[in-house]
């Protein structure tokens, strides 16, 4: 019941609480005393990386579009997916959500879930590596392609994109960074916080690459691996979300001061963050499983479909 009440009134109250919260934080010497809960953040390296990635994708897309009319619908769909994933990263890293995540654990969890469950799969579906390559002149494309085919890149990439390896890396990132010692270190040191975000996004990209990026063979082995990865990840992330939601005490003491500054109960804030991972997170993996299942059915060998038709 306490969590339900928080869900009902928490976020509409944030705007009214921001002014008093900032004054309280400054007076109490909070680690966010120089920030505001609802500020746009424009860290130069983040804005540069986001801007360059978008410009390269658009340049590559336009070059591919002018070369051939075939496959335009597929390229347009991938552009839409990449754009949606890119905008999700902007919302996570630049919008007021990023500043609010420094004050509320629940906002922090929402930011992480947007990284891993919205931006990462959409970016993978957008196939940015291939499109970025076409943004470069022909000579540069040949050199980049030759470098990518070298054993120094091909072998590590092949190993990192094995379903078991990508699954393990993603699970390790989730569980290790939510251990109180490591989470507290990320809150206290900007460099570690950046490493946390990078590992979440990188491991999620590898994970979703094994789900949507790998071509399925005629026996559906890749689809089977994808379904297994999604199901097991839904189970263990749901378990972590349940632990956070049902915990009798606050896991992360560093969140207590800023949460109280906004007028919220720290334990209820933690419960809300656990629910974000538990419920919407599980739904995202379920949707991914349905998409893989639809792909699996659509790519059945023709002989199977024709045999069924003859028997009918």
| Structural domain harbouring 164 | 2-301
- Count of beta carbons in the 10 Å neighbourhood of residue 169: 17
Residues 6+ apart with CB under 8 A from 212: 121, 124, 125, 226, 288, 291, 292
Q: For residue 6, is pLDDT > 50? A: no
> Is residue 307 situated within a structural domain?
no
Q: Are 263 and 269 in contact (CB under 8 A)?
A: no
Domain count, the chain: 1
Q: Are 283 and 237 in contact (CB under 8 A)?
A: no
- At 290, list the tokens: 């349905």
For residues 53 and 17, what is the distance between their CA atoms, to the nearest angstrom? 36
> Is residue 12 situated within a structural domain?
yes
> What pLDDT digit, counting tens, does each position of 182-217 carry?
999 998 998 999 999 999 999 999 999 999 876 544
Residues in the chain: 312
When pLDDT is averaged across residues 167-175 and rounded to a whole number, the result is 96
* Percentage above 70 pLDDT, the chain: 81
Quote the pLDDT of residue 68: 72
- At 131, list the tokens: 């499109």
CA angle 121, 83, 160 (to 5 degrees): 35
For residues 302 and 304, what is the distance between their CA atoms, to the nearest angstrom? 5
Closest CA to 197 of 57, 80, 94, 125: 94
Q: What is the largest CA-CA distance in the chain?
A: 79
- Count of beta carbons in the 10 Å neighbourhood of residue 189: 12
> Is residue 21 situated within a structural domain?
yes
> Is residue 281 situated within a structural domain?
yes
**Alpha carbon 239 to chain centroid distance?**
18
pTM: 0.82
Q: Are 106 and 276 in contact (CB under 8 A)?
A: yes
Q: Are 90 and 53 in contact (CB under 8 A)?
A: no
**H helical segments located in 29-71:** 44-67
- At 1, list the tokens: 């019941």
Say whether 68 sits in a helix, a strand or coil: coil
> Is residue 311 situated within a structural domain?
no
> Is residue 172 situated within a structural domain?
yes
> Is residue 310 situated within a structural domain?
no
> Is residue 55 situated within a structural domain?
yes
Quote the pLDDT of residue 38: 77
For residues 31 and 258, what is the distance between their CA atoms, to the nearest angstrom? 9
> What pLDDT digit, counting tens, does each position of 17-69 carry?
333 333 333 333 334 434 577 788 888 999 999 999 999 999 999 998 888 76
When pLDDT is averaged across residues 264-291 and rounded to a whole number, the result is 92
Mean pLDDT score across all residues of the chain: 83
């Amino acid at each position: 019941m306490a969590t339900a009440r928080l869900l009902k009134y928490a976020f509409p109250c944030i705007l009214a609480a921001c002014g008093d919260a900032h004054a309280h934080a400054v007076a109490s010497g909070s680690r966010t005393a120089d920030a505001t809960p609802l500020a746009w953040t424009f860290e130069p390296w983040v804005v540069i990386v986001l801007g360059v990635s978008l410009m390269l994708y658009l340049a590559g897309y336009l070059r591919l579009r002018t070369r051939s009319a075939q496959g335009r619908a597929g390229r347009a769909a991938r552009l839409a997916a990449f754009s949606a994933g890119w905008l999700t990263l902007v919302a996570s890293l630049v919008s007021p959500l990023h500043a609010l995540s420094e004050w509320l654990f629940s906002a922090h969890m929402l930011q992480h879930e947007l990284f891993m469950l919205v931006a990462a799969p959409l970016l993978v579906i957008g196939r940015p590596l291939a499109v970025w390559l076409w943004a470069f002149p022909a000579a540069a494309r040949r050199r980049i392609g030759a470098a990518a085919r070298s054993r120094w890149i091909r072998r590590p990439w092949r190993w990192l994109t094995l379903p078991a390896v990508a699954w393990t890396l993603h699970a390790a990132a989730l569980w290790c960074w939510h251990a109180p010692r490591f989470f507290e270190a990320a809150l206290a040191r900007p460099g570690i916080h950046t490493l946390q975000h990078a590992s979440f996004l990188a491991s999620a990209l590898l994970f979703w690459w094994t789900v949507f990026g790998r071509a399925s063979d005629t026996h559906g082995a890749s689809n089977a691996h994808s379904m297994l990865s999604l199901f097991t990840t839904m189970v263990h992330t749901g378990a972590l979300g349940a632990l956070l939601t049902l915990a009798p005490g606050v896991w992360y003491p560093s969140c207590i001061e800023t949460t109280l500054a906004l007028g919220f109960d720290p334990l209820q804030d933690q419960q809300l963050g656990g629910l974000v991972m538990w419920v919407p997170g599980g739904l995202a993996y379920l949707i991914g499983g349905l998409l893989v299942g639809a792909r699996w059915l659509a790519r059945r060998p023709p002989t199977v479909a024709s045999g069924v038709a003859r028997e009918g």
